[in-house]
Chain A
Amino acid sequence: MITAAALCPAPPLLARELTGADPVVPELRQACLDAAAGLLQSDPDMIAVVGTGEQTRAFGTRGQLDLAAYAPALALGRLDGSALDGSGLDRDPQPLPLPLGLGCRLLDQAGYAGQLALHTVSDRASAADCAAVGASLAETMARVALLVMADGSARRGLKAPGYLDERSFPFDTQVTEAIQAGDMAALLTLDAGLARDLMATGRPAWQVLAGAMGERRPASVIRYCDDPFGVAYLVATLSPQHNVSPTSGRERGGDWPQRP
């Protein structure tokens, strides 16, 4: 049974080491950390981390994110500034995919040392298949918390990674409203083709969330909702019980800026 779920985006820049001297998005990192920490408060037997990947499959929990794949200089171990010193950076021969690696880092930072399950879902998986993965994860143990690493459209502006596609705005709004309202069924109706067009890589992961929640209608707290680089980042905490008591952290409404 799902005790709590958290939704975080999975851009590489969530790793503090990758943005150089400038932390760039400290508020986003804090919101993610707060969301991850909130999962621990639900006293789970296990936390499942889910993200979109090339295949639908489970990963062992011994791997980690390969930061040097994004910033090779980190492996040299001589960058100035202790926050960026990668001298302890051993390259993992079988690194975790980006969303899982980032999710594990968040849980580490939140102080979680308990049992983990790591799962990717293919970006070609159907809504039903994604939901089935979610339902199955939810039944693994009595108390399962879910960390969903998922991004919205990457085409929300002229300088966005995917340039501007106006369809991004209604699409991301649809997702945010579904999360805000706890309307899991709405997540299952997301158009996979449109999501691909919009580079909204989070679609399968959101649908895992929907499957994990099943018939329940979780209460949610939106912790971050912005697109500083033209990619929709949404951080939220979802609780299957309706008496949500949000942890520390800035609460925000789910209103997207529109700035092509």
Chain B
Amino acid sequence: MSDGLAPAAQQGVLRLGKRAFPPGQPIVMGIVNRTPDSFFRPAVTWDEAEAMQRVHQVIADGADIVDVGGIPAAPGANVDVAEEIRRTAAFIGAIRSAYPDVVISADTWRHETGRAVCEAGADLLNDSWGGYDPLLADVAAEFGAGLVCAHVGRQSPRTRPFRVAYADVMADVLDQVQLLARRALAAGVRSDRIVIDAAHDFGKNTWHSLEITRRLAEMTATGFPVLVSLSNKDFVGETLNLPPEQRLPGTLAATAICAWQGARIFRVHQVAESRQVIDMVSAIRGDRPPARAVRGLA
């Protein structure tokens, strides 16, 4: 890569719900887990009132999107469709009532859940599992929702990578996410609502996740808006040998690198800190003016 900057002209406006995000305007997605067993701060928003409090907080901290998930990525207790819908759909409806204009994302791979959450007001289906359920794209098309097309290699949902190897991990990422994007287009998902995601840690060891971070510009060069989900993940933990609650600095470093290379959506736990890093990088790139510049100009 040259200076790591993808030509902005290749990126278009991303439309999610009532919002239109032009290129150069980074988007923060705040994570709200409706699970008792996610890896980061497990169960803190298992209680519905706590979860709604968390929604208020991430929006106040600057999140543009609220991402609601009912199933942890890691293996664990089975969560069937009915339970996933029970955890997420009504809650999404409550968010929609409280915030008519905020973009709501649902972290799910199942089309049944997709339908239920779209009916409740979700604007984006965040499929972290790489199109495992091909009918999910049909649901996105039917409701005019956005769709995240993620790379998971050959993993199926809620499995961990086992001795995964790639001749060229970024080439594999580009192949898979663009295949999924084409499939979404063919299913009728609008082109300005398709997002691609390298999916750090999913179907990847730490080396792979570092590689796709280093080469993220190859994804932004496709013209599709790129989502990165880096927050407190194992590749940060393994790189720095730190447990989940101590991974914020590493997360923010990776965030800065991805922002520099033109990632547009950042799925995060710590919204306020991430927003600062993203805004700072955005100003360094020249996409955003300083909030207030006086030094040397008086």
> Interface residues, chain A, CB within 8 Å of chain B?
11-13, 18-22, 24, 70-73, 76, 78-81, 84, 154, 161, 228-231
Contact = CB atoms under 8 A, between A and B. Distances in A.
Contact of B289 (A13, A70, A84, A154): A84
Interface in B271-298: 283, 286-294, 296-298
B75 to A, nearest CB: 42
B298 A80 contact: no
Given A78-B287, A79-B287, A13 B22 contact: no
Given A20-B292, A22-B291, A81-B289, 19 more contacts: A11-B297, A12-B296, A13-B297, A13-B298, A18-B297, A19-B293, A19-B294, A20-B291, A24-B294, A71-B293, A73-B286, A73-B289, A79-B288, A79-B289, A80-B22, A154-B298, A161-B298, A229-B294, A231-B298
25 contacts: A11-B297, A13-B294, A13-B298, A18-B297, A19-B293, A20-B291, A20-B292, A20-B293, A21-B289, A21-B290, A21-B291, A21-B292, A22-B291, A22-B292, A70-B297, A78-B24, A78-B286, A78-B287, A79-B286, A80-B22, A80-B288, A80-B289, A228-B298, A230-B298, A231-B298
Nearest to A229: B298
Given A11-B297, A78-B287, A79-B287, A24 B8 contact: no
B270 interface: no
A207 B2 CA distance: 52
Contacts of A79: 286-289
B25 interface: yes
Contacts of A72: 286
B126 to A, nearest CB: 25
Q: Which among B25, B286, B290, B298 has the highest number of chain A CB atoms within 10 Å?
A: B298
Interface residues of B, number: 17
A15 to B, nearest CB: 9
A31 to B, nearest CB: 16
A84 B290 CA distance: 11
In order of increasing CB-CB distance, the 4 nearest A-B pairs are A229-B298, A73-B286, A20-B290, A22-B292
A20 to B, nearest CB: 4
Nearest to A12: B297
Q: Which among B283, B287, B293 has the highest number of chain A CB atoms within 10 Å?
A: B293
A11 B297 CA distance: 6
B278 to A, nearest CB: 13
A79 B293 CA distance: 14
Contacts of A13: 293-294, 297-298
Contacts of B292: 19-22, 24
A259 to B, nearest CB: 15
B8 A78 contact: yes
A154 B8 CA distance: 41
Nearest to A159: B298
B276 to A, nearest CB: 15
Contacts of B289: 20-21, 73, 79-81, 84
Interface in B42-57: none
Given A11-B298, A229-B298, A231-B298, A80 B25 contact: yes
Contacts of A22: 291-292
A223 B22 CA distance: 41
A48 to B, nearest CB: 26
B68 to A, nearest CB: 28
B154 to A, nearest CB: 39
A154 B288 CA distance: 29
Nearest to A230: B298
A168 to B, nearest CB: 14
Interface string B239-257: 0000000000000000000
Interface string B2-32: 0000001000000000000010110000000
A157 B271 CA distance: 38
A159 B292 CA distance: 17
B259 to A, nearest CB: 15
A207 to B, nearest CB: 23
A79 B290 CA distance: 10
B287 A80 contact: yes
Contacts of A19: 292-294, 297
A79 B291 CA distance: 12
Contacts of A18: 293, 297
B90 to A, nearest CB: 36
Nearest to B5: A76
A20 B291 CA distance: 5
Q: Which among A79, A154, A230 has the highest number of chain B CB atoms within 10 Å?
A: A79
A99 to B, nearest CB: 14
A73 to B, nearest CB: 4
Interface in B155-190: none
Contacts of A71: 293
Nearest to A79: B289
Given A22-B292, A24-B292, A73-B289, A80 B24 contact: yes
Contacts of A76: 286
Q: Which among A20, A22, A154, A229 has the highest number of chain B CB atoms within 10 Å?
A: A20
Nearest to A22: B292
